[in-house]
Amino acid sequence: MVAKLFRSASFLSLTLAAPVIAATALPASAAAQSETRAISDLGDGLYRWTAGNYHSFFLVHDEGIVTGDPLSKEAARWLRGELRTRFPGKPITHVLYSHNHPDHAYGGEELDDGATQFVAHELAAQAWVLTKAQVRMPDITFADSFTLALPGGDHVELQYWGTNNGRGSVSMLMPEHGTLHVVDWITLGRLPYLDLKGYDVVGAIASIRAVLDDVEFSRFIGGHADMGGPEDVRRSLAYLETLHEGVLDGIIAGQSLEEIQGSLDLSEFSDLKMFDEWHDDNIAGVYRQLVDNEYLQMRPEVSTPE
């Protein structure tokens, strides 16, 4: 029975539907009370961990543990306790920030073991200083890419692709695990959140295309929603491209936001989670960005709707 359970667990992680091996709630606030906390074993020392609608990862190496975003003070404190129990004697050697947004980056101090090195893109660090964010500031910043070589042979390669969502957003590739981790600018199996706050849609499309061209991976871990593979990332890109082009063409044709919402057909993506709830908000978000950021209505050939 035990052997059978183990076999089915490893099969599940191979098919990317990772088994949840722990779900303990130790809430510190009312908001955290109903939050699901879980750790999924992906094999070979790599884990995804979850707090509510948020995901991060950790990677166990010969001399300690590397984690991704802390997610929140409460979530990070919970994770620290789990790591102490599961991996006694293994310190957290590094915390790798994905981008500047506080709902992913706060709580890092709970993961600080004294010698822990915190790493972030320089634009994330700059934003935290300029906005007086209460983030455990990084010890290491970088401009383009940063490779962390771990005792035991694993690597984590952080790469900046330009603006896409938030400031200083990077991808994290673990080549020995065939795994890519991206937070917020690639979301699998679900529509982008509401009206795309924090996004730069044009930049996100460019970044995702570049990732698909340049990065070899078989498994994708997002900061929200589903895990998947390159095909799922392509589908997520296809949605953003279709959404963006539909809104763009509507604006160029002189349509109002309401007219575009009424006519743009995105139904080929209706299987994605939150499609019914969010697709009108997604259209509004792209419309706003094209008008405000790309100055579409300042173009002489584009007429402003009546």
DSSP characters for 240-299? Answer: HHHHHHHHHHHHHTT--HHHHHHH---GGGTTSBTHHHHHHHHHHHHHHHHHHTS-GGGS
| Nearer to Zn ion among residue 225 and residue 248 (C-beta) | 225
In whole angstroms, how close is the CB of 56 to Zn ion at the nearest point? 11
| Nearer to Zn ion among residue 150 and residue 237 (C-beta) | 237
Closest CA to 207 of 121, 117, 96, 103: 121
Instruction: Specify the stretch interacting with Zn ion by CB under 5 A; choose among 113-121, 184-192, 281-289, 293-301.
Output: 184-192
CB contact at 8 A, 289 and 196: yes
| Nearer to Zn ion among residue 185 and residue 255 (C-beta) | 185
CB contact at 8 A, 173 and 180: yes
In whole angstroms, how close is the CB of 100 to Zn ion at the nearest point? 11
Distance CA 172, CA 175 (A): 9
Distance CA 130, CA 53 (A): 28
Distance CA 136, CA 132 (A): 12
| Nearer to Zn ion among residue 100 and residue 255 (C-beta) | 100
| Nearer to Zn ion among residue 105 and residue 264 (C-beta) | 105
Measured between its terminal Cα atoms, the distance across the chain in Å is 70
In whole angstroms, how close is the CB of 165 to Zn ion at the nearest point? 8
In whole angstroms, how close is the CB of 252 to Zn ion at the nearest point? 31
Distance CA 43, CA 212 (A): 24
| Nearer to Zn ion among residue 135 and residue 150 (C-beta) | 135
| Nearer to Zn ion among residue 224 and residue 279 (C-beta) | 224
Q: Examine residue 184 and tell whether it contacts Zn ion (CB under 5 A).
A: yes
Q: Which residue is nearest to Zn ion (CB)?
A: 184
Q: What are phi and psi of 107, to 5 degrees?
A: 100, 0
Q: Examine residue 281 and tell whether it contacts Zn ion (CB under 5 A).
A: no
| Residue carrying the six token digits 């606030």 | 29
CB contact at 8 A, 244 and 218: no
Instruction: Specify the stretch interacting with Zn ion by CB under 5 A; choose among 5-13, 139-147, 177-185, 297-305.
Output: 177-185
In whole angstroms, how close is the CB of 249 to Zn ion at the nearest point? 29
Distance CA 111, CA 67 (A): 9
Q: What are phi and psi of 297, to 5 degrees?
A: -80, 0
Instruction: Specify the stretch interacting with Zn ion by CB under 5 A; choose among 146-154, 178-186, 207-215, 287-295.
Output: 178-186
Kindly identify the residues of this chain, within the stretch 260-279, that bind Zn ion according to CB under 5 A: none
| Nearer to Zn ion among residue 60 and residue 124 (C-beta) | 124
Instruction: Specify the stretch interacting with Zn ion by CB under 5 A; choose among 25-33, 150-158, 179-187, 227-235.
Output: 179-187
CB contact at 8 A, 46 and 179: yes
Q: Examine residue 154 and tell whether it contacts Zn ion (CB under 5 A).
A: no
In whole angstroms, how close is the CB of 236 to Zn ion at the nearest point? 14
In whole angstroms, how close is the CB of 128 to Zn ion at the nearest point? 16
In whole angstroms, how close is the CB of 193 to Zn ion at the nearest point? 7
List interacting residues with Zn ion (CB under 5 A).
184
